[in-house]
């Protein structure tokens, strides 16, 4: 069921890692951001959008991870956008003969049979100089950066003072770095500085996974992510409940240890 976050902005939270699909109401239709995760959930989202009396007129994928690249026939054939780097990344993957097998390796087994692959990643890359999503609705500013994944973009819904953060600023997931990048630490810290500059214009943050943050929690999440990344960089003890004994997901401490080991190896090489 769609739930209103603020005027004109609604979300659907999936059972899969509290994944958030975002609906932004425009005059003649809605912008649909990162819809997912199962076919049934997306069909429910489509019905809820239909109940608003508005069609889907545009889609956007914040970054090229499979769970942010999904679509459903009930959403129609509206244009689907991403940054140029995001589109190039998924296009490279889909060009390989084994792309389905490669994506299947990362699918949660309990949901794998219910996740549609036929329209995955069919997005149009926006020109690099594009600063906002082309649609007839509230201004949605694109904040592109290099943290987490190639061509990742946060979206600032300016009139609603909402930041759609993609896979960052989560209360349940620690920062996942793009370990294939030349400098994943600096990329992440640079993105957080972009968010910090936008924070005065934000009252609500919607992460790709986890709960909504409001008010002072917006800056608190920026600081929490920064502290985690700086401790990774400096080799310090990380005091972060997202990877501690009380972590929401029991596999996160293992991912944290893997990230630390991968960064150590990267520095040695």
- pLDDT tens digits, 212-225: 999 999 999 999 99
Mean pLDDT of the chain: 94
pTM metric for this prediction: 0.95
Q: Which helix (DSSP H) or strand (DSSP E) does residue 237 occupy?
A: none
Please, is 26 exposed, middle or buried when counting C-beta atoms within 10 Å of its C-beta (0-12, 13-18, 19+)? middle
Residue 188 backbone dihedrals phi, psi, to 5 degrees: -70, -45
Contact between residue 90 and residue 123 where contact means Cβ atoms under 8 Å apart:
yes
The residue assigned the tokens 């690099």 is 128
- Residue 213 bridge partners (DSSP): 205
Strand, coil or helix: 99:
helix
pLDDT of 158: 96
Closest CA relative to residue 14, chosen from 250, 205, 207, 147: 207
What structural domains does the chain harbor? 3-268 (3.60.15.10)
Contact 5, 11 (CB under 8 A): yes
The per-residue pLDDT for 237 is 75
80-96 burial code (b ≥16 CB/10 A, e <16): bbbbbbbbebbeebeee
CB contact burial 167-179 (16+ within 10 A = b; e otherwise): bbbbbbbbbbbbe
What is the pLDDT, as a whole number, of residue 247? 87
Cα distance from N-terminal residue to C-terminal residue, the chain: 48
Chain segment 85-144, per-residue pLDDT in tens: 999 999 999 998 888 888 888 888 888 888 988 899 999 999 988 999 999 999 999 999
């Amino acid at each position: 069921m769609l739930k209103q976050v603020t005027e004109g902005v609604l979300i659907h939270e999936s059972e899969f890692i509290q994944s958030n699909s975002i609906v932004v109401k425009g005059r003649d239709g809605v912008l649909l951001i990162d819809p997912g995760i199962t076919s049934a959930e997306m069909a429910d989202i489509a019905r809820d959008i239909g109940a608003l009396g508005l069609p889907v007129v545009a889609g956007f994928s914040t970054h090229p991870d499979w769970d942010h690249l999904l679509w459903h026939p009930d959403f129609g054939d509206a244009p689907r956008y991403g940054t140029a780097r995001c589109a190039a990344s998924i296009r490279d993957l889909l060009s390989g003969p084994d792309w389905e097998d490669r994506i299947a390796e990362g699918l949660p087994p309990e949901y794998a049979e219910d996740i549609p692959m036929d329209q995955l990643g069919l997005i149009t890359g926006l020109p690099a100089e594009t600063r906002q999503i082309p649609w007839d609705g509230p201004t949605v500013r694109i904040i592109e950066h290099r943290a987490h994944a190639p061509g990742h973009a946060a979206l600032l819904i300016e009139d609603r003072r909402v930041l759609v953060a993609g896979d960052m600023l989560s209360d349940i997931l620690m920062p996942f770095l793009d370990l294939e990048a030349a400098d994943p630490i600096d990329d992440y810290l640079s993105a957080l500085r972009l968010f910090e500059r936008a924070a005065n214009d934000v009252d609500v943050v919607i992460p790709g996974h986890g709960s909504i943050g409001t008010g002072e929690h917006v800056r608190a999440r920026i600081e929490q992510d920064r502290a985690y990344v700086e401790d990774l960089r400096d080799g310090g003890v990380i005091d972060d409940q997202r990877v501690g004994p009380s972590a929401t997901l029991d596999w996160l401490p293992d991912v944290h240890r893997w990230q630390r080991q991968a960064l150590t190896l990267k520095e040695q090489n």
